[in-house]
Amino acid sequence: MTDHLSKSQAAEESENAGSNPSANPTMGDIIAQRLGRRDLLKGALAVTALGMTAAPLALALAASSQVAAQGSNTTPSFNFTEIEAGSDERHHVAEGYDADVLIRWGDPVLPGARAFDPQAQNPATQARQFGYNNDYLGYLPLDGSRRGLLVVNHEYTNEELMFPSLPGRQDLRTVRFKDMTRELVDIEMMAHGGSVLEVARGADGKWSVVAGSPFARRITAETEMEITGPAAGHDRLKTSYDPAGRKVRGMLNNCAGAMTPWGTWLTCEENVNGYFWGQLADTHPEARNYRRMGIPGNWYNWGQHHERFDIVKEPNEANRFGWVVEIDPRDPNSVPKKRTAMGRFKHEGAANIVNRDGRFVVYQGDDERFDYVYRFVTAAAVNTATPAANRDILDAGTLSVARYDADGTGQWLPLVFGQGPLTPANGFNSQADVVIECRRAADLLGATKMDRPEDVEANPKTNKVYVMLTNNSRRTAAQVDAVNPRAENRFGHIVEMTPPDGDHAAATFRWEVMLRCGDPSIAAVGATFNPNTSKDGWFGMPDNCAVDAAGRLWIATDGNAPSKTGRADGIWALETEGPARGTSKLFYRVPNGAEMCGPELTPDLETFFVAVQHPGEPDEDDPNAKPATFNTPSTRWPDFKDGMPPRPSVVAITRRGGGKIAM
């Protein structure tokens, strides 16, 4: 890693991977059947949207708990003919499937939005259009698997690919952001955040975005949000804009996320350090905290035009980012909530499951080399009779961090003020301090330093929990441990965790390394794919993942490239049970320069939504690769028109002639 990183490289270095809890399949299935479009529309227009769907959600929750408790161990195998690994300007899907672009950066979202014109973008235009770098996708059924809300994270922006006026990448060290005007910064800010789309499947089986939907929403870096939980109102969150420390504008670098059983969207702030600049004195009270989070990251020059992103001028603003945000997508006027009880770090995602005792459990990765895996368990049980009662359930509970012991067991270490070292002697004077400096608190507890924890996913059919460790080239031989078994871990691995008796709130767990990734034909790599895996079927750098309604595990990767693995990123189907365990097959791959995000299947398993992020970047490790710009991208997917840059897009994959994916 050099000190001259593209945002994508930097993200690969330190970003988190997301989880896709809406892949809680049984839940989705039943929501699909039970939640009618009419009820949800009423919900969207009502002040108290959550109350509208009480009875159906109650059924959904009860059924889901049953499935989790049963721990049925049967998952069908994947059935499709895999594609050839490789990389070119186009995307590819398995034979017999169609991969159709659903929406691209710049396409209209809100009423009155203009058609995309790369030469005529401005902040107001972008604020009504689909944002950049789609990442997490969550599907909330309105009418089963044929009509629903698709929520989308817009993680970050690639100015060098977006703006025709730029000669190339902008950064602090080499060009001092000299071409990044206030206008361009404001476009970037409007291209961040999230989108809520109503999507529908037509009689021809094709998906489209419903124009003029009352649910349509854009969330940006300026959308006002509420801060809730133990850090709300704390002095360390107070700014000149918000002297009470309870409201904040925007969410940043939202990577992965999840849907909750009560119908909300959890969207996770990851590399928030990159948005801040300025330098605090070493003696500043926040200096140690900011150092641990990599603040200032100086990836953007927003601080040049907006004082709140300059930590010298507004030293508490950076404490207001790095949280899990909860949004009710059915109410476009709802105020997003930053739920501080779940801690402040570089959240990849928020995999969730309703525990057998009814409490809500959220597994989270902190995507940084040598950072941690966390778990949050709510104090209250999910209220199945009155979903509205769950509105603030994420504000009270116990956050813990994982320690993986060499004997294959592990401990959840509670991050609770006053317990163990989390006391005033170590600078923790309240639970607010613990959640604001979550990483430092976890350091003191002796958590296990992992190889960049990205997405986590819990499988309600088996109660197994999968953790994607994407890579860590900096781990030395002396730093190898049982759960991070390779030095210079370039290709990552997957850890499987098993709670005792299916109790996701227990203090302990068992774990094993399920898969070491990379090219199995190179002995030195030490990959452990099942020998039945083909030359196309292996992958490196697992990042996002999804468990589908049948309990099968799909892996999305970030960082494969011709120079590293001879292949683009994509979606791999990974067998987890029985003799086929560890067998992997390639289902879909992205065009040049892109990363694979957002894997999300509809409850009926007939549609696979995926997000193609930052197409057109160069192959960073190829010494002959030319820098990519608006005029010289490595692909012009999906439009392939002169003058039209590559555009991050959501793709809907369906089976030609209908039917379930890979069954």
Q: Which residues make up the interface to ligand FEO (CB under 6 A)?
A: 11, 15-17, 155, 255, 270, 348, 367, 454, 543
| Cis upstream peptide for 21 (omega within 30°) | no
Please report, for the chain, how many H helices and E strands are present, in that order: 11, 31
Tell me how many residues contact Ca ion (CB under 5 A).
7
Cβ proximity to ligand FEO: between 15 and 82 the closer is 15
What's the DSSP call for residue 627? P
Query: Which of 124, 39, 28, 114 shows the shortest CA–CA distance to 67?
Result: 28
Classify residue 420 as exposed, middle or buried by CB count within 10 Å of its CB (0-12, 13-18, 19+): middle
310 interacts with, out of ligand FEO, Ca ion, none, CB within 5 to 8 A per kind? none
Cβ proximity to ligand FEO: between 255 and 546 the closer is 255
Give CA–CA dist 494/59, Å, rounded: 33
270 interacts with, out of ligand FEO, Ca ion, none, CB within 5 to 8 A per kind? ligand FEO
- Residue written as tokens 């603030």? 392
> Binding of Ca ion at residue 17 (CB under 5 A)?
yes
Cα 396 from chain centroid (whole Å): 23
Both structure tokens of 357 = 């005792």
Cβ proximity to Ca ion: between 9 and 304 the closer is 9
- The secondary structure of the chain in percent helix, strand, coil, rounded to multiples of 5, reads 20, 30, 50
Both structure tokens of 562 = 């011709």
- Residue written as tokens 């989390």? 422
Site for Ca ion in 557-596 (CB under 5 A): 558
Q: Would you call 4 helix, strand, or coil by DSSP?
A: coil
Name the minimum Å distance from CB 205 to ligand FEO.
31
Q: Would you call 159 helix, strand, or coil by DSSP?
A: helix
Cβ proximity to Ca ion: between 230 and 322 the closer is 322
Name the minimum Å distance from CB 286 to ligand FEO.
24
> Binding of Ca ion at residue 188 (CB under 5 A)?
no
Cα 321 from chain centroid (whole Å): 15
Name the minimum Å distance from CB 488 to Ca ion.
19
- Interaction pattern, residues 197-236, with Ca ion; x per rule: CB under 5 A: ----------------------------------------
> Binding of Ca ion at residue 543 (CB under 5 A)?
yes
155 interacts with, out of ligand FEO, Ca ion, none, CB within 5 to 8 A per kind? ligand FEO
Cβ proximity to ligand FEO: between 221 and 255 the closer is 255
Cβ proximity to ligand FEO: between 221 and 280 the closer is 221
Please answer whether residues 509 and 498 qualify as being in contact, where contact means their C-beta atoms are separated by less than 8 angstroms: yes
> Binding of Ca ion at residue 366 (CB under 5 A)?
no
Name the minimum Å distance from CB 63 to Ca ion.
30
269 interacts with, out of ligand FEO, Ca ion, none, CB within 5 to 8 A per kind? none
Both structure tokens of 499 = 């709670």
367 interacts with, out of ligand FEO, Ca ion, none, CB within 5 to 8 A per kind? ligand FEO
Q: Which residue's CB atom is positioned nearest to Ca ion?
A: 17
- H-run or E-run covering 12: helix 7-14
Name the minimum Å distance from CB 532 to ligand FEO.
29
Beta bridge partners of 356: none
Name the minimum Å distance from CB 624 to ligand FEO.
27
Name the minimum Å distance from CB 285 to Ca ion.
32
- Residue written as tokens 């034979």? 95
What phi and psi, each to the nearest 5 degrees, are found at residue 309?
Answer: -95, 5
159 interacts with, out of Ca ion, ligand FEO, none, CB within 5 to 8 A per kind? none
Name the minimum Å distance from CB 149 to Ca ion.
21
Give CA–CA dist 89/202, Å, rounded: 29
Q: What angle do helix axes 54-70 and 25-34 make, rounded to 10 degrees?
A: 150
Name the minimum Å distance from CB 596 to Ca ion.
9
Q: List residues near Ca ion by CB under 5 A.
A: 15, 17-18, 255, 543-544, 558
